[in-house]
Amino acid sequence: MRELGMVLALAFGVAGGLRAQATSPQVDVTGRAITLLMVRGPQEVRGELLAVRRDSLWVLAGRPERVVAVRLRDVSEATVRRHGWTAARGILWGLGVGAASGVGLAVACGKVSCGSGGALIPGSMLVGVAVGGIAALSYQYSSRWRFRPVTEVKLAPFARFPQGPPPGGFDVLLRPTRDSVVVRP
């Protein structure tokens, strides 16, 4: 039973750790991560969604940070982070379960001198990675909301300022570094 407990603890530990990582804070006080596919200008804009209006939206992007203002009509598709389970986490889950299972099987194998214990852990981990890889494709797809066409009503709930830009504008958001810049449309 000691080995059983060990395997369960390992499996739950991996699962719990990944889940904790995947769960964002109870309430996000900033906007969601957004990726915009553009029909003109830069091919793609990524960053935090700050605000959205009927014809424009603003994204806090890049390092150094800058506020990028974009015309909605120039955006072909917007994707917004839905949950934190990414492809990497799917693979890690599979790997963790595979490792836990491999350890358990190797322990069981050792008890009866089956002679192949050494291959069990890497073999089981490989299977875990393969299964995790399949799951990763699904997580990668489901971890985003996709919006096309892009409208104010759809995106506003995910913005830091769903009511629109704050009275003082966005300059105050930028860190006071020499490189900070506001890019206007």
Q: For residue 95, how many other CB atoms are within 10 A of its CB?
A: 21
C-alpha to C-alpha distance for 114 and 122, rounded to whole angstroms: 16
The answer to the question of residue 122 lying near other proteins (CB under 8 A) is: no
The answer to the question of residue 107 lying near other proteins (CB under 8 A) is: yes
The answer to the question of residue 151 lying near other proteins (CB under 8 A) is: no
Mapped onto helix, strand or coil, the DSSP state of residue 149 is: coil
Comparison of 127 and 181: residue with beta carbon closer to other proteins: 127
User: Token digits for 157?
Assistant: 């709930």
* Residue of the chain from 44, 63, 115, 176 that contacts other proteins (CB under 8 A): 115
Comparison of 17 and 41: residue with beta carbon closer to other proteins: 17
Comparison of 47 and 90: residue with beta carbon closer to other proteins: 90
Residue type, 158: F
Size of the site for other proteins (CB under 8 A): 70
Task: Find out whether 94 and 135 touch, Cβ atoms under 8 Å.
Answer: yes
41: left (phi over 0), alpha (psi -120 to 50) or beta: left
The answer to the question of residue 47 lying near other proteins (CB under 8 A) is: no
Q: For residue 36, how many other CB atoms are within 10 A of its CB?
A: 27
Smallest distance from other proteins to CB 52, Å = 12
Helix axes 2-22, 87-111, angle to 10 degrees: 180
Q: Which residues of this chain interact with other proteins, rule CB under 8 A?
A: 3-4, 7-8, 11-12, 15-16, 19, 22-24, 26-30, 82-85, 90, 93-94, 97-98, 100-101, 104-105, 107-116, 119-120, 123-124, 127-128, 131-132, 134-139, 141-143, 156-158, 160-164, 166-168, 172-173
